Structure 1
């Protein structure tokens, strides 16, 4: 891992780790904000205990685990994609600046919405970032195809 990745990945992951811990510690207090999400998920999974507090806990656990994985460089592309997938709906649900009538609240929600949008961009870039010691998946697949083609060609030419 380069010095840039060694520093940048934990920096990007820090908000998710801290937010995940906060969600797990204060799930009950944060639950009212997750009520619409809980109401939408409950009919899709009637066998699961879908409550607003459990939605907050699941969201927090995903952020904590994937954030820690990104910070430590373990499956960095996958963890960045998981975080991006977890961030997008929570941003739309949690920072609905367009629904605010109070100008101060609207401005605050708008700032948080665009901050999260910026973080989403960073996560998407991280999901495409090739590890310097490992080629990106598409390139590895292409190399395997070329290797197989060369092997078949060598077998045929004998």
Structure 2
């Protein structure tokens, strides 16, 4: 089972690591989009979310308090879905559809992050191929 969890961690974490790199290296362009969505302090918010993504993805990828990493990714995904992909406010049908798809993707990934948080915290030190055990303990 350990190898399956490792492969899953790599596949899951790589998505967010790639996004973190984009947030940190293309923050100006992303801040423009965030500002168009009425996000306050768009540049600072993009950089802060990039750091959140980086910490969360590295934590999950390497098994460094992977439960905390999953929680950090959850903390990124829910506000992103609600504020950046608020399809219910969009009048253009194509833009509305695109935002709805992104909203649903983010919420599905938030659900997966929540399950990972529970899984890592419950499995504890029994889960192999990690650098640390969980930070949280769920019985």
Q: Which TM-score band (shorter chain)?
A: 0.7 to 0.9
Larger Rg: 1
Contact 1:12 1:119 in 2 (8 A): no
Partner residue, 1:80: 70
Matched residue count: 127
Query: Helix, strand or coil for the counterpart of 2:39?
Result: helix
TM-score, structure 1 normalization: 0.73
Unaligned runs of 5+ in 2: 128-132
Rounded Cα–Cα distance in structure 2 between residues aligned with 1:54 and 1:73: 28
Query: Helix, strand or coil for the counterpart of 1:74?
Result: coil
Matched, 1:59 2:49: yes
TM-score, structure 2 normalization: 0.83
In structure 2, relative to structure 1, the CA distance for the partners of 1:69 and 1:106 (3 Å cut) is same
Contact 2:118 2:138 in 1 (8 A): no
Partner residue, 1:104: 94
Rounded Cα–Cα distance in structure 1 between residues aligned with 2:34 and 2:61: 27
Rounded Cα–Cα distance in structure 1 between residues aligned with 2:11 and 2:109: 11
How much has 1:34 moved relative to structure 2? 3.1
Contact 1:17 1:67 in 2 (8 A): yes
Query: Helix, strand or coil for the counterpart of 1:137?
Result: coil
Unaligned runs of 5+ in 1: 39-50, 140-158
